[in-house]
Amino acid sequence: MRTTRRVAAAVLLVATVGLVIAASSSAAQDRPRHREAACSTTVRGSHATASCFNPNPRADRVQLHVECAHWWDPDMDARPVEVGPAQYVRLAERCWKEIRKAWVSHR
């Protein structure tokens, strides 16, 4: 009798683990994919450069934003550029003096 209960408990445990694994893999497939271009930003002195590559089947619009360190130095925004599927673009902006922060936005 004990052996039957142990076998039944083991079968129930394996079935439960199988259901959990199946549910987690289907949930991972249902998640929306990240549809933005991959961008990296570099800052050297007063120059900022963003390099973007779009591995997705849909186009993405990217724009480089630069925040200058000094109050009298105007912040700069590059014009938005469309990055098509499997395309690579490079954006550049600068401040007169130092750059506080540079980032890329996606639309």
In a domain, 47, yes or no: yes
* DSSP secondary structure code for residue 32 in this structure: P
In a domain, 9, yes or no: no
Domain extent at residue 76: 38-106
Q: How confident is the model at residue 6 (pLDDT cuts 50, 70, 90)?
A: low
In a domain, 22, yes or no: no
Q: How many domains does the chain have?
A: 1
pLDDT digits (tens, 9 = 90+) for 24-51: 655 445 555 568 999 999 999 999 999 9
In a domain, 98, yes or no: yes
pLDDT digits (tens, 9 = 90+) for 77-91: 999 999 999 999 999
In a domain, 24, yes or no: no
In a domain, 26, yes or no: no
In a domain, 46, yes or no: yes
Could you give the CA distance from residue 11 to residue 2 in angstroms, rounded to a whole number? 14
Tokens of 94: 């600068």
In a domain, 73, yes or no: yes
* DSSP secondary structure code for residue 71 in this structure: T
A 10 A CB-CB count for 99 gives 21
Mean model confidence pLDDT for the chain: 83
Give the model's pLDDT for residue 99: 95
Tokens of 5: 């209960």
